[in-house]
Structure 1
Amino acid sequence: MCVAALAWQVSEKFPLVAIGNRDEFHDRPTTALSRWEDDAGIIAGRDEGAGGTWLGVSKLGQFVLLTNFRDPENVTIGPVSRGKLVEQILRGEEPKQIEDMNAFNVVQANLSRARFLSNRGKAQWQELSSGIHGVSNGPLDRPWPKTLQLGGVLERWIEEGTGEIEPLFTALRAETPEPSAEQPIDAPQPEYAPVFIRNPVYGTRSSSVVIVNNDGRGLIAERSFDASAAVTGEKKVEFTWPQV
Protein backbone atom coordinates (compact mmCIF):
# COMPACT_ATOMS: atom_id res chain seq x y z
CA MET A 1 0.00 0.00 0.00
CA CYS A 2 1.38 3.37 -0.95
CA VAL A 3 -0.98 5.93 0.52
CA ALA A 4 -3.46 5.81 3.39
CA ALA A 5 -5.30 8.05 5.82
CA LEU A 6 -6.72 7.21 9.24
CA ALA A 7 -9.30 9.15 11.24
CA TRP A 8 -9.04 7.93 14.83
CA GLN A 9 -11.36 9.16 17.58
CA VAL A 10 -12.43 12.12 15.44
CA SER A 11 -16.05 11.08 14.95
CA GLU A 12 -18.25 10.03 17.84
CA LYS A 13 -20.26 7.88 15.46
CA PHE A 14 -17.30 6.33 13.59
CA PRO A 15 -14.26 6.34 15.90
CA LEU A 16 -12.12 4.51 13.32
CA VAL A 17 -12.15 5.20 9.59
CA ALA A 18 -9.29 4.27 7.28
CA ILE A 19 -8.83 4.50 3.52
CA GLY A 20 -5.90 3.58 1.32
CA ASN A 21 -4.51 2.31 -1.96
CA ARG A 22 -2.18 -0.61 -2.50
CA ASP A 23 0.31 -0.02 -5.32
CA GLU A 24 2.11 -3.10 -6.57
CA PHE A 25 3.27 -4.95 -9.69
CA HIS A 26 0.19 -6.14 -11.56
CA ASP A 27 1.67 -9.57 -12.14
CA ARG A 28 2.23 -10.26 -8.42
CA PRO A 29 -0.16 -13.06 -7.37
CA THR A 30 -2.80 -11.73 -4.99
CA THR A 31 -5.98 -13.02 -3.38
CA ALA A 32 -8.75 -10.48 -2.93
CA LEU A 33 -10.31 -9.54 0.40
CA SER A 34 -11.76 -12.53 2.26
CA ARG A 35 -12.10 -14.16 5.68
CA TRP A 36 -9.05 -16.27 6.39
CA GLU A 37 -9.64 -19.71 7.85
CA ASP A 38 -7.72 -19.19 11.06
CA ASP A 39 -8.26 -18.65 14.78
CA ALA A 40 -7.49 -14.94 14.60
CA GLY A 41 -10.47 -14.25 12.36
CA ILE A 42 -8.41 -12.20 9.92
CA ILE A 43 -10.23 -10.41 7.10
CA ALA A 44 -7.77 -9.22 4.48
CA GLY A 45 -6.36 -9.70 1.04
CA ARG A 46 -3.36 -11.99 0.72
CA ASP A 47 -0.02 -11.66 -1.03
CA GLU A 48 0.39 -15.09 -2.61
CA GLY A 49 3.95 -14.35 -3.64
CA ALA A 50 5.56 -13.70 -0.25
CA GLY A 51 2.74 -14.25 2.19
CA GLY A 52 1.03 -11.87 4.57
CA THR A 53 -1.07 -8.86 3.67
CA TRP A 54 -0.99 -5.08 3.41
CA LEU A 55 -4.18 -4.17 5.29
CA GLY A 56 -6.75 -6.02 7.34
CA VAL A 57 -8.81 -6.44 10.49
CA SER A 58 -9.16 -9.34 12.92
CA LYS A 59 -11.71 -10.57 15.43
CA LEU A 60 -9.24 -9.59 18.16
CA GLY A 61 -10.35 -6.00 17.54
CA GLN A 62 -7.33 -4.91 15.53
CA PHE A 63 -6.87 -2.93 12.35
CA VAL A 64 -3.42 -2.85 10.72
CA LEU A 65 -2.07 -1.28 7.53
CA LEU A 66 1.39 -1.25 5.98
CA THR A 67 3.19 1.03 3.54
CA ASN A 68 6.66 0.66 2.15
CA PHE A 69 9.12 3.39 3.21
CA ARG A 70 10.97 4.74 0.19
CA ASP A 71 14.67 4.03 0.79
CA PRO A 72 16.06 2.87 -2.58
CA GLU A 73 19.68 2.89 -1.44
CA ASN A 74 19.01 0.27 1.24
CA VAL A 75 16.72 -2.21 -0.51
CA THR A 76 17.75 -5.81 0.08
CA ILE A 77 16.81 -8.71 -2.20
CA GLY A 78 15.15 -11.63 -0.44
CA PRO A 79 14.42 -10.23 3.03
CA VAL A 80 11.56 -11.29 5.27
CA SER A 81 8.27 -10.17 3.74
CA ARG A 82 6.87 -6.98 5.24
CA GLY A 83 3.39 -8.36 4.73
CA LYS A 84 4.11 -10.97 7.40
CA LEU A 85 4.39 -8.12 9.88
CA VAL A 86 0.74 -7.15 9.34
CA GLU A 87 -0.34 -10.76 9.77
CA GLN A 88 1.62 -11.08 13.02
CA ILE A 89 0.01 -8.01 14.55
CA LEU A 90 -3.48 -9.01 13.43
CA ARG A 91 -2.91 -12.30 15.26
CA GLY A 92 -2.04 -10.41 18.44
CA GLU A 93 1.69 -11.16 18.20
CA GLU A 94 4.56 -8.78 18.65
CA PRO A 95 6.39 -7.97 15.39
CA LYS A 96 9.31 -10.28 14.64
CA GLN A 97 12.45 -9.87 12.50
CA ILE A 98 11.74 -6.24 11.69
CA GLU A 99 15.48 -5.58 11.37
CA ASP A 100 15.55 -8.10 8.49
CA MET A 101 12.81 -6.34 6.52
CA ASN A 102 13.07 -3.58 3.97
CA ALA A 103 11.88 -0.18 5.21
CA PHE A 104 8.23 0.04 6.27
CA ASN A 105 5.54 2.01 8.07
CA VAL A 106 2.85 0.23 10.08
CA VAL A 107 -0.27 1.70 11.68
CA GLN A 108 -2.22 -0.35 14.22
CA ALA A 109 -5.53 0.82 15.70
CA ASN A 110 -8.53 -0.35 17.66
CA LEU A 111 -11.26 1.55 19.50
CA SER A 112 -9.06 2.46 22.45
CA ARG A 113 -5.57 2.87 21.01
CA ALA A 114 -3.70 3.84 17.86
CA ARG A 115 0.03 3.54 17.31
CA PHE A 116 2.74 3.60 14.65
CA LEU A 117 5.90 1.61 13.97
CA SER A 118 8.71 2.02 11.45
CA ASN A 119 12.09 0.36 11.12
CA ARG A 120 13.64 3.60 9.87
CA GLY A 121 15.00 5.52 12.79
CA LYS A 122 14.34 4.17 16.29
CA ALA A 123 12.22 1.03 15.81
CA GLN A 124 9.69 1.37 18.60
CA TRP A 125 5.95 1.91 18.79
CA GLN A 126 4.74 5.52 18.92
CA GLU A 127 1.33 6.32 20.36
CA LEU A 128 -0.93 8.34 18.05
CA SER A 129 -3.17 11.10 19.29
CA SER A 130 -6.78 11.41 18.22
CA GLY A 131 -7.04 13.06 14.83
CA ILE A 132 -6.48 12.44 11.14
CA HIS A 133 -3.16 10.86 10.19
CA GLY A 134 -1.71 10.32 6.74
CA VAL A 135 1.03 7.94 5.64
CA SER A 136 2.60 7.14 2.29
CA ASN A 137 6.15 6.10 1.48
CA GLY A 138 7.85 8.53 3.84
CA PRO A 139 7.54 9.45 7.53
CA LEU A 140 4.12 9.42 9.20
CA ASP A 141 2.12 12.63 8.72
CA ARG A 142 4.64 13.99 6.22
CA PRO A 143 2.64 16.59 4.27
CA TRP A 144 2.96 15.07 0.83
CA PRO A 145 0.22 16.23 -1.55
CA LYS A 146 -1.57 12.89 -1.73
CA THR A 147 -1.61 12.35 2.04
CA LEU A 148 -2.99 15.86 2.57
CA GLN A 149 -5.55 15.17 -0.14
CA LEU A 150 -6.86 12.00 1.53
CA GLY A 151 -6.79 13.57 4.98
CA GLY A 152 -8.97 16.40 3.71
CA VAL A 153 -11.39 13.89 2.22
CA LEU A 154 -11.74 12.08 5.56
CA GLU A 155 -12.33 15.35 7.40
CA ARG A 156 -15.13 16.37 5.02
CA TRP A 157 -16.63 12.87 5.05
CA ILE A 158 -16.85 12.88 8.83
CA GLU A 159 -18.43 16.32 8.83
CA GLU A 160 -21.10 15.15 6.38
CA GLY A 161 -21.82 12.12 8.56
CA THR A 162 -23.67 10.02 5.97
CA GLY A 163 -21.62 6.86 6.45
CA GLU A 164 -21.73 6.19 2.69
CA ILE A 165 -18.49 4.66 1.45
CA GLU A 166 -18.71 5.52 -2.25
CA PRO A 167 -17.30 9.06 -1.78
CA LEU A 168 -14.27 7.49 -0.13
CA PHE A 169 -13.72 5.12 -3.06
CA THR A 170 -14.10 8.09 -5.41
CA ALA A 171 -11.38 9.94 -3.51
CA LEU A 172 -9.09 6.92 -3.74
CA ARG A 173 -9.49 6.96 -7.54
CA ALA A 174 -8.08 10.51 -7.88
CA GLU A 175 -5.46 10.48 -10.64
CA THR A 176 -4.50 14.15 -10.42
CA PRO A 177 -2.86 15.60 -7.31
CA GLU A 178 -4.47 18.64 -5.77
CA PRO A 179 -2.15 21.67 -5.74
CA SER A 180 -0.17 22.07 -2.54
CA ALA A 181 1.33 25.35 -1.36
CA GLU A 182 3.97 23.62 0.73
CA GLN A 183 5.84 20.41 0.05
CA PRO A 184 8.77 18.90 1.91
CA ILE A 185 11.85 18.55 -0.25
CA ASP A 186 11.65 14.75 -0.07
CA ALA A 187 8.15 14.62 -1.57
CA PRO A 188 7.92 12.93 -4.98
CA GLN A 189 7.17 15.20 -7.89
CA PRO A 190 3.39 15.80 -8.13
CA GLU A 191 3.09 14.28 -11.60
CA TYR A 192 4.38 10.99 -10.17
CA ALA A 193 2.43 11.07 -6.96
CA PRO A 194 -1.33 11.01 -7.47
CA VAL A 195 -3.48 9.05 -5.05
CA PHE A 196 -4.30 6.51 -7.78
CA ILE A 197 -1.44 5.24 -9.95
CA ARG A 198 -2.44 4.26 -13.50
CA ASN A 199 0.41 2.18 -14.90
CA PRO A 200 0.29 -1.14 -16.79
CA VAL A 201 3.31 -2.58 -14.93
CA TYR A 202 3.27 -1.13 -11.41
CA GLY A 203 0.17 0.72 -10.29
CA THR A 204 -2.78 0.76 -7.95
CA ARG A 205 -4.04 -2.80 -7.52
CA SER A 206 -6.77 -2.13 -4.95
CA SER A 207 -8.50 0.51 -2.85
CA SER A 208 -9.65 -0.22 0.70
CA VAL A 209 -12.13 1.37 3.09
CA VAL A 210 -12.54 0.41 6.76
CA ILE A 211 -15.25 1.89 8.99
CA VAL A 212 -15.92 0.94 12.61
CA ASN A 213 -18.74 2.47 14.63
CA ASN A 214 -18.76 3.10 18.37
CA ASP A 215 -20.24 -0.29 19.31
CA GLY A 216 -17.58 -2.24 17.44
CA ARG A 217 -19.57 -3.10 14.33
CA GLY A 218 -17.53 -2.54 11.21
CA LEU A 219 -17.19 -2.91 7.47
CA ILE A 220 -14.09 -3.55 5.38
CA ALA A 221 -14.42 -3.10 1.63
CA GLU A 222 -11.98 -3.57 -1.22
CA ARG A 223 -12.18 -2.57 -4.89
CA SER A 224 -9.68 -4.24 -7.24
CA PHE A 225 -8.18 -2.99 -10.53
CA ASP A 226 -6.34 -4.54 -13.45
CA ALA A 227 -3.35 -3.24 -15.39
CA SER A 228 -5.59 -0.96 -17.46
CA ALA A 229 -7.05 0.54 -14.24
CA ALA A 230 -10.43 -1.08 -14.90
CA VAL A 231 -12.40 -2.34 -11.90
CA THR A 232 -12.23 -6.13 -11.68
CA GLY A 233 -14.16 -6.76 -8.49
CA GLU A 234 -15.42 -5.48 -5.17
CA LYS A 235 -15.70 -7.24 -1.83
CA LYS A 236 -17.42 -6.10 1.37
CA VAL A 237 -17.22 -7.95 4.68
CA GLU A 238 -18.95 -6.96 7.91
CA PHE A 239 -17.39 -7.75 11.29
CA THR A 240 -17.87 -7.14 15.00
CA TRP A 241 -15.13 -6.30 17.48
CA PRO A 242 -15.25 -7.13 21.19
CA GLN A 243 -16.31 -4.24 23.42
CA VAL A 244 -13.49 -2.52 25.29
Structure 2
Amino acid sequence: MCLISIQLRQHAVYKLVLVANRDEQYDRPALPAHFWSDHPDLLAGKDLSARGTWLGITKQGRIAAVTNSYLITTQESDQKLSRGNLVMDYLTGNIGPEGYLEQIRQQRTDYNGFNLLIGSSDSFHHYNNILDEISIIRTGNYAVSNATLDTPWPKVTLTKAAMAELASSSELDEEAIFRIMADRTPPSDDQLPDLPLPLPILRAVSANFIQTERYGTRSTTLILIDHCDQVTFVERSYLPDGTSSEVRFNFQLMAEEK
Protein backbone atom coordinates (compact mmCIF):
# COMPACT_ATOMS: atom_id res chain seq x y z
CA MET A 1 0.00 0.00 0.00
CA CYS A 2 2.64 2.50 -1.06
CA LEU A 3 1.88 6.22 -1.25
CA ILE A 4 3.31 8.87 -3.58
CA SER A 5 2.49 12.59 -3.43
CA ILE A 6 3.45 14.94 -6.27
CA GLN A 7 3.12 18.71 -6.34
CA LEU A 8 4.07 20.55 -9.52
CA ARG A 9 4.34 24.36 -9.42
CA GLN A 10 2.46 24.62 -6.14
CA HIS A 11 5.18 26.21 -4.00
CA ALA A 12 6.98 29.54 -4.30
CA VAL A 13 10.44 28.00 -3.95
CA TYR A 14 10.08 24.48 -5.35
CA LYS A 15 8.66 23.61 -8.74
CA LEU A 16 8.55 19.94 -7.70
CA VAL A 17 7.79 18.42 -4.33
CA LEU A 18 7.64 14.62 -4.45
CA VAL A 19 7.41 12.40 -1.40
CA ALA A 20 6.87 8.65 -1.34
CA ASN A 21 6.48 5.83 1.16
CA ARG A 22 7.79 2.45 0.10
CA ASP A 23 5.87 -0.39 1.77
CA GLU A 24 7.32 -3.88 1.47
CA GLN A 25 7.94 -7.16 3.27
CA TYR A 26 10.54 -6.63 5.99
CA ASP A 27 12.59 -9.62 4.84
CA ARG A 28 13.01 -8.38 1.25
CA PRO A 29 16.59 -7.08 1.13
CA ALA A 30 17.30 -3.60 -0.19
CA LEU A 31 19.95 -0.89 -0.15
CA PRO A 32 19.13 2.73 0.74
CA ALA A 33 19.43 5.43 -1.89
CA HIS A 34 22.89 5.92 -3.37
CA PHE A 35 24.55 6.73 -6.68
CA TRP A 36 24.98 3.40 -8.43
CA SER A 37 28.48 2.35 -9.46
CA ASP A 38 27.27 0.95 -12.79
CA HIS A 39 25.01 3.99 -13.42
CA PRO A 40 26.85 6.88 -11.74
CA ASP A 41 24.20 9.47 -12.64
CA LEU A 42 21.41 7.43 -11.01
CA LEU A 43 20.37 8.11 -7.41
CA ALA A 44 18.01 5.42 -6.11
CA GLY A 45 17.58 2.64 -3.62
CA LYS A 46 18.16 -0.89 -4.85
CA ASP A 47 15.95 -3.95 -4.45
CA LEU A 48 18.45 -6.75 -3.93
CA SER A 49 15.95 -9.45 -4.92
CA ALA A 50 15.16 -8.28 -8.44
CA ARG A 51 17.99 -5.69 -8.77
CA GLY A 52 15.63 -2.88 -9.73
CA THR A 53 14.31 0.11 -7.83
CA TRP A 54 11.02 1.65 -6.72
CA LEU A 55 11.96 5.34 -7.11
CA GLY A 56 14.89 7.30 -8.44
CA ILE A 57 16.25 10.44 -10.07
CA THR A 58 19.19 11.07 -12.39
CA LYS A 59 21.58 14.01 -12.44
CA GLN A 60 19.88 14.99 -15.71
CA GLY A 61 16.49 15.21 -13.95
CA ARG A 62 14.77 12.05 -15.12
CA ILE A 63 12.46 10.83 -12.35
CA ALA A 64 10.47 7.61 -12.02
CA ALA A 65 8.49 5.82 -9.35
CA VAL A 66 6.19 2.81 -9.21
CA THR A 67 3.50 1.38 -6.95
CA ASN A 68 1.57 -1.87 -7.18
CA SER A 69 -2.04 -1.58 -8.34
CA TYR A 70 -4.83 -3.66 -6.84
CA LEU A 71 -7.77 -2.59 -8.99
CA ILE A 72 -8.60 -6.24 -9.59
CA THR A 73 -8.51 -9.09 -7.12
CA THR A 74 -6.68 -11.64 -9.25
CA GLN A 75 -3.75 -13.30 -7.50
CA GLU A 76 -0.37 -11.81 -8.30
CA SER A 77 1.93 -14.12 -10.21
CA ASP A 78 5.57 -14.81 -9.39
CA GLN A 79 6.10 -15.50 -13.08
CA LYS A 80 5.62 -11.86 -14.11
CA LEU A 81 8.45 -9.41 -14.72
CA SER A 82 9.65 -7.22 -11.86
CA ARG A 83 7.94 -3.83 -11.70
CA GLY A 84 11.20 -2.33 -10.48
CA ASN A 85 12.57 -2.78 -14.00
CA LEU A 86 10.02 -0.26 -15.25
CA VAL A 87 11.68 2.43 -13.16
CA MET A 88 15.23 1.28 -13.89
CA ASP A 89 14.80 1.09 -17.65
CA TYR A 90 13.38 4.61 -17.86
CA LEU A 91 16.01 6.17 -15.61
CA THR A 92 18.94 4.53 -17.39
CA GLY A 93 17.57 5.10 -20.89
CA ASN A 94 17.15 8.14 -23.11
CA ILE A 95 13.63 7.66 -24.48
CA GLY A 96 11.08 10.35 -23.61
CA PRO A 97 8.00 9.57 -21.50
CA GLU A 98 5.62 9.20 -24.45
CA GLY A 99 7.82 6.79 -26.35
CA TYR A 100 8.69 4.82 -23.25
CA LEU A 101 5.07 4.33 -22.20
CA GLU A 102 4.12 3.25 -25.70
CA GLN A 103 6.71 0.49 -25.36
CA ILE A 104 5.40 -0.47 -21.93
CA ARG A 105 1.81 -0.60 -23.18
CA GLN A 106 2.80 -3.34 -25.60
CA GLN A 107 4.16 -5.37 -22.67
CA ARG A 108 1.63 -4.42 -19.99
CA THR A 109 0.38 -7.98 -19.44
CA ASP A 110 3.93 -9.12 -18.65
CA TYR A 111 3.64 -7.36 -15.27
CA ASN A 112 1.38 -7.57 -12.27
CA GLY A 113 -0.71 -4.43 -11.73
CA PHE A 114 1.23 -1.18 -11.44
CA ASN A 115 1.10 2.60 -11.40
CA LEU A 116 4.12 4.09 -13.14
CA LEU A 117 5.08 7.76 -12.82
CA ILE A 118 7.83 9.03 -15.12
CA GLY A 119 8.97 12.50 -16.05
CA SER A 120 10.84 15.45 -14.62
CA SER A 121 10.29 18.60 -12.61
CA ASP A 122 8.37 20.02 -15.60
CA SER A 123 5.76 17.29 -16.07
CA PHE A 124 4.91 13.67 -15.32
CA HIS A 125 3.18 10.89 -17.18
CA HIS A 126 1.16 8.37 -15.18
CA TYR A 127 0.30 4.94 -16.53
CA ASN A 128 -1.83 2.20 -14.97
CA ASN A 129 -1.47 -1.09 -16.84
CA ILE A 130 -4.75 -2.55 -15.59
CA LEU A 131 -6.80 0.37 -16.90
CA ASP A 132 -4.36 0.94 -19.79
CA GLU A 133 -4.70 4.68 -19.25
CA ILE A 134 -2.08 7.43 -19.55
CA SER A 135 -2.46 10.77 -17.77
CA ILE A 136 -0.21 13.83 -18.14
CA ILE A 137 0.50 16.01 -15.10
CA ARG A 138 1.87 19.50 -15.73
CA THR A 139 0.71 21.39 -12.66
CA GLY A 140 -1.26 20.65 -9.50
CA ASN A 141 -1.41 18.45 -6.43
CA TYR A 142 -1.70 14.68 -6.93
CA ALA A 143 -1.27 11.42 -5.06
CA VAL A 144 -1.43 7.72 -5.80
CA SER A 145 -1.50 4.64 -3.61
CA ASN A 146 -2.41 1.19 -4.92
CA ALA A 147 -5.49 1.88 -7.03
CA THR A 148 -4.80 4.56 -9.66
CA LEU A 149 -3.96 8.27 -9.74
CA ASP A 150 -6.07 10.31 -7.29
CA THR A 151 -8.36 7.41 -6.36
CA PRO A 152 -10.02 8.89 -3.24
CA TRP A 153 -8.75 6.45 -0.67
CA PRO A 154 -8.47 8.21 2.70
CA LYS A 155 -4.66 8.20 2.71
CA VAL A 156 -4.66 9.83 -0.74
CA THR A 157 -7.18 12.58 -0.01
CA LEU A 158 -5.79 13.39 3.44
CA THR A 159 -2.22 13.53 2.16
CA LYS A 160 -3.19 15.80 -0.73
CA ALA A 161 -4.95 18.17 1.67
CA ALA A 162 -2.05 18.22 4.12
CA MET A 163 0.51 18.81 1.36
CA ALA A 164 -1.59 21.61 -0.11
CA GLU A 165 -1.62 23.33 3.26
CA LEU A 166 2.17 23.11 3.52
CA ALA A 167 2.56 24.52 0.00
CA SER A 168 0.82 27.72 1.07
CA SER A 169 3.79 28.60 3.30
CA SER A 170 6.76 30.51 1.87
CA GLU A 171 9.14 28.07 3.54
CA LEU A 172 8.59 24.35 3.11
CA ASP A 173 8.90 22.38 6.35
CA GLU A 174 10.67 19.10 5.58
CA GLU A 175 9.90 17.64 8.98
CA ALA A 176 6.22 18.42 8.54
CA ILE A 177 6.26 16.42 5.29
CA PHE A 178 7.88 13.46 7.02
CA ARG A 179 5.28 13.67 9.79
CA ILE A 180 2.48 13.48 7.22
CA MET A 181 3.99 10.38 5.69
CA ALA A 182 4.61 8.85 9.14
CA ASP A 183 0.97 9.16 10.25
CA ARG A 184 -0.19 5.77 11.56
CA THR A 185 -3.81 6.80 12.09
CA PRO A 186 -6.18 4.50 10.17
CA PRO A 187 -9.41 5.87 8.71
CA SER A 188 -12.73 4.90 10.23
CA ASP A 189 -14.02 1.48 9.17
CA ASP A 190 -16.69 2.96 6.92
CA GLN A 191 -13.98 4.73 4.87
CA LEU A 192 -11.66 1.77 4.40
CA PRO A 193 -10.83 0.77 0.80
CA ASP A 194 -12.78 -2.17 -0.58
CA LEU A 195 -10.00 -4.74 -0.58
CA PRO A 196 -10.13 -8.47 0.21
CA LEU A 197 -8.11 -8.27 3.43
CA PRO A 198 -8.92 -9.18 7.05
CA LEU A 199 -10.22 -6.13 8.89
CA PRO A 200 -7.20 -5.69 11.25
CA ILE A 201 -4.79 -5.83 8.30
CA LEU A 202 -6.96 -3.52 6.20
CA ARG A 203 -6.96 -0.98 9.00
CA ALA A 204 -3.18 -1.14 9.35
CA VAL A 205 -2.38 -0.81 5.65
CA SER A 206 -4.86 2.04 5.17
CA ALA A 207 -2.74 4.40 7.28
CA ASN A 208 0.05 6.40 5.63
CA PHE A 209 2.73 4.62 7.66
CA ILE A 210 2.27 0.86 7.92
CA GLN A 211 3.60 -1.49 10.54
CA THR A 212 2.45 -5.10 10.73
CA GLU A 213 4.25 -8.27 11.76
CA ARG A 214 5.91 -8.95 8.41
CA TYR A 215 5.12 -5.95 6.22
CA GLY A 216 5.38 -2.21 6.56
CA THR A 217 6.79 1.13 5.52
CA ARG A 218 10.46 0.59 4.76
CA SER A 219 11.38 4.11 3.68
CA THR A 220 10.17 7.63 2.98
CA THR A 221 11.86 9.56 0.16
CA LEU A 222 11.55 13.31 -0.38
CA ILE A 223 12.66 15.01 -3.61
CA LEU A 224 12.63 18.81 -3.85
CA ILE A 225 13.65 20.69 -7.01
CA ASP A 226 13.73 24.47 -6.87
CA HIS A 227 13.37 26.94 -9.74
CA CYS A 228 17.15 26.99 -10.21
CA ASP A 229 17.19 23.17 -10.70
CA GLN A 230 18.87 22.52 -7.37
CA VAL A 231 17.87 19.07 -6.04
CA THR A 232 17.42 18.12 -2.41
CA PHE A 233 17.00 14.37 -1.92
CA VAL A 234 16.32 12.96 1.53
CA GLU A 235 15.53 9.34 2.34
CA ARG A 236 14.68 7.85 5.71
CA SER A 237 14.80 4.08 6.06
CA TYR A 238 12.97 2.31 8.87
CA LEU A 239 13.50 -0.96 10.71
CA PRO A 240 10.64 -2.92 12.36
CA ASP A 241 12.05 -2.08 15.81
CA GLY A 242 11.35 1.61 15.21
CA THR A 243 14.90 2.75 14.51
CA SER A 244 15.68 4.74 11.39
CA SER A 245 18.58 6.06 9.33
CA GLU A 246 18.81 8.89 6.83
CA VAL A 247 20.76 9.77 3.70
CA ARG A 248 20.77 13.23 2.12
CA PHE A 249 22.03 14.45 -1.26
CA ASN A 250 22.16 17.89 -2.85
CA PHE A 251 23.14 18.48 -6.47
CA GLN A 252 22.52 20.69 -9.47
CA LEU A 253 20.71 19.17 -12.43
CA MET A 254 22.72 18.86 -15.62
CA ALA A 255 21.40 19.12 -19.17
CA GLU A 256 20.44 15.76 -20.64
CA GLU A 257 22.60 14.70 -23.57
CA LYS A 258 20.77 14.51 -26.88
Pairwise same-fold verdict (TM > 0.5) = yes
Report what 2:250 is aligned to. 238
* 1:4 paired to 2:4: yes
CA 1:57–1:166 in structure 2 vs 1: closer, same or farther (change >3 Å)? same
> Contact between 1:63 and 1:108, CA under 8 Å: does it hold in 2?
yes
| Cα distance in 2, alignment partners of residues 100 and 3 from structure 1 | 23
Return the offset for 1:129.
3.9
Return the offset for 1:72.
3.6
Question: Cα deviation per residue 1:149-200 (whole Å; 9 max; x = unaligned)?
Answer: 2112211121123233111111111000366997775698772300000113
* 1:117 paired to 2:127: yes
Question: TM-score, normalized by length of structure 2?
Answer: 0.85
Unaligned runs of 5+ in 1: none
CA 1:225–1:38 in structure 2 vs 1: closer, same or farther (change >3 Å)? same
| Cα distance in 2, alignment partners of residues 136 and 68 from structure 1 | 8
| Cα distance in 2, alignment partners of residues 24 and 134 from structure 1 | 19
Report what 1:100 is aligned to. 110
Match among 218, 230, 240 for residue 217 of structure 1: 230
Report what 1:163 is aligned to. 172
In structure 1, the residue corresponding to 2:235 is in which secondary structure? strand
Aligned pairs (5 A) from 1:1-244: 2-39=2-39, 41-70=41-70, 71-91=72-92, 92-93=94-95, 94=100, 96=104, 97-122=107-132, 125-177=134-186, 191-192=203-204, 193-228=206-241, 230-242=242-254
| Cα distance in 2, alignment partners of residues 213 and 181 from structure 1 | 40
CA 1:184–1:173 in structure 2 vs 1: closer, same or farther (change >3 Å)? closer
Bigger share in helix = 2
| Cα distance in 2, alignment partners of residues 150 and 3 from structure 1 | 9
Give runs of ≥4 in structure 1 deviating > 4 Å: 178-190
Instruction: Tell me the matched-pair count.
Output: 242
Residue identity (%): 27
> Contact between 2:42 and 2:57, CA under 8 Å: does it hold in 1?
yes
